[in-house]
Structure 1
């Protein structure tokens, strides 16, 4: 799937500036971004929409990003996840790896080049297509 139009990406981040910047970038790239400020809100978005990829912050108020990914994977097993964290020493826990997230899907904030996120979205969407 080379054309990413029609691809829905969930941005889960409690920082308004990060969330809005990602949303604007994804729109500029022709994707359909949905946003959430916390895990509970994101689970509702996931349950009501076909989401192809989620860009998930790890440090969130309430439900942590890792807990969201585990719950989100159960709600929407076809959704692929990208970890977007400010923690420079982030270690990918087993429960996240069990949801299909790999070290290639982990990005440390701030990103100097947003194109690597697009490459990851492209790779994950294509994996989803080839796995079905």
Structure 2
């Protein structure tokens, strides 16, 4: 089985964390932060699988699914998004995605989605899963909201229902390791 995977997400921290986890499971990992970078990787490397964020700057993940399938029709794709709706899920599957997962999703969730296709013959071991700590999940969520707010601390604090100074203190801390 071809264990090559492309991870496409504009959130660098999330993308790199996933890349590390897939590498530890024996995958050859390629990463991209946007549509254009992903298309270059697909054209050159031809990965067997792809994990695509739906909402990215520039062209969307739905457009990427359609274009990726033109270059590599047998590429197995799973869509991740923090902005899920039934309409976009239906459209992603119609365009050729195998499955649609809401964020935050971890490697085991993603491998479970790929395992829905028996042709991939993925060996999914659910016993080795270790959940991220609550501190880590909180830190990632805060950074995701801050990114969505274009780095505007006041707006992010309002969306998170936190005082602006409290949010600033949380952001000054280093991310939890686990």
Same fold (TM over 0.5): yes
**SS at structure 2 position matched to 1:98:** helix
Does the alignment pair 1:62 with 2:58?
A: yes
Do the aligned partners of residues 64 and 56 (structure 1) sit closer, same or farther apart at CA in structure 2, a change above 3 Å counting? same
Q: 2:29 aligns to what? A: 33
Runs of 4+ aligned residues of structure 1 deviating over 6 Å after TM superposition are none
TM-score, reference length from structure 1? 0.80
Q: 2:95 aligns to what? A: 99
1:40-79 counterparts in 2 under 5 A? 40-79=36-75
Is the 1:12–1:42 contact (alpha carbons within 8 Å) kept by the matching residues of 2?
Answer: yes
Q: 2:18 aligns to what? A: 22
Q: CA deviation at 1:120?
A: 2.3
Is the 2:79–2:101 contact (alpha carbons within 8 Å) kept by the matching residues of 1?
Answer: yes
Q: Whole-Å Cα distance in 2 between the matches of residues 10 and 83 of structure 1?
A: 12
Q: Whole-Å Cα distance in 1 between the matches of residues 111 and 66 of structure 2?
A: 23
The gaps in structure 2 that reach 5 residues or longer are 122-178
Q: CA deviation at 1:87?
A: 1.2
Is the 1:13–1:57 contact (alpha carbons within 8 Å) kept by the matching residues of 2?
Answer: yes
Larger Rg: 2
Q: Whole-Å Cα distance in 2 between the matches of residues 65 and 87 of structure 1?
A: 12
The gaps in structure 1 that reach 5 residues or longer are none
Whose RCO is larger (CA < 8 A, sep 6+)?
Answer: 1
Q: Whole-Å Cα distance in 2 between the matches of residues 90 and 18 of structure 1?
A: 24
Deviations 1:30-77 (A, max 9, x none): 111100010011001000012111100011111101001101110111
Q: 2:5 aligns to what? A: 9
Q: CA deviation at 1:101?
A: 2.1
